[in-house]
Structure 1
């Protein structure tokens, strides 16, 4: 006898799940790269872009900390609903980065485009390929400030509300005037 999967299990597996993506760029035409990344997300099957934050500018972070001598970053947060699994979403993020000149030679190095999965439907995971929520999101104003701008009730799963986290660390970002996504 062939056993069919439970209809509710199939529906649940195929449902749209919310995710939060952080975008950053500090090489090339940063604004255009962020716009192209948002367009690429919109064109990717299984991803629906729900909201795009205002763009902020921030100092580059290196392994040793803030580096004022490195090119500054433009950052944004994109809220999506997706049918993709976390691993599939990460693969699409890496594909989009590569299509826009991202080279992975130096950890925390300068880059044309960075797309991080900050949250995926509240999932908590210690998988070395994709730690969720993003392990440093709660410490980064360049993630928290734009996220708060598009979701005033946002929270980093297992850590706390974005507004409280941002208040605790301070907001050192500045609005990138004239850059719209």
Structure 2
């Protein structure tokens, strides 16, 4: 196990997406897995949203959400943990922006700005994706990016696609 060089707690935002093998269940399982990460605590998560796929359109719509957690993992250690969760849920990396059982993106990590071969923070697509901005605004409406951009302002200027919020019914099942 990697040593945890980051002894302070950091706030991380994780984008979740799935469009294969019962996507709602995939997201729920991923949220449970995030809540069970060592040295980390799931603080909150957004509603679930249905969105059109990016890239190839010959695939089912996605279910998306954003989770907020506090962690002692460094950004790259957290990325390793996220990829392990994806793998546990059957993620196969075949096609960029293709269909997938689970996609976990590290969107933000405190106000860290970094770019490596494996990780870019903030996530490179954060400003242009309504399926990221809307759930972020839901759980942290006053949040800003490291460059000072407010999430709520970015959402106002982001192209809006057919994003649909899922709701819980009285039996705690998600529906549109």
**Contact (CA 8 Å) 1:145, 1:171: kept in 2 or not?**
no
Determine helix, strand or coil for the equivalent of 2:82. Answer: helix
Aligned residue in 2 for 1:136:
125
CA RMSD in angstroms comes to 1.6
Structure 2 matches for 1:76-87, cutoff 5 A? 76-87=65-76
How many residues are aligned here? 165
**Separation (CA, whole Å) in 2 of partners of 1:116 and 1:167:** 22
- Which 4+ residue blocks in structure 1 deviate beyond 6 angstroms? none
Q: Distance in 2 between matches of 1:159 and 1:57?
A: 28
Q: Which runs of 5+ in 1 are unaligned?
A: 1-11
**For the residues of structure 1 that align with 2:94 and 2:144, how far apart are their CA atoms?**
32
Larger radius of gyration: 1
The yes-or-no answer on 1:96 pairing with 2:85 is yes
Which secondary structure does the structure 1 equivalent of 2:41 belong to? strand
Task: Give the TM-score normalised by the residue count of structure 2.
Answer: 0.89
Structure 2 distance, partners of 1:159, 1:31, is 33
Higher helix proportion (structure 1 or 2): 1
- Give 2:38's aligned residue: 45
TM-score, length-scaled by structure 1: 0.87
Tell me the residue number matched to 2:167. Answer: 177
Name the CA distance, whole Å, in 2 between partners of 1:159 and 1:109.
Answer: 32
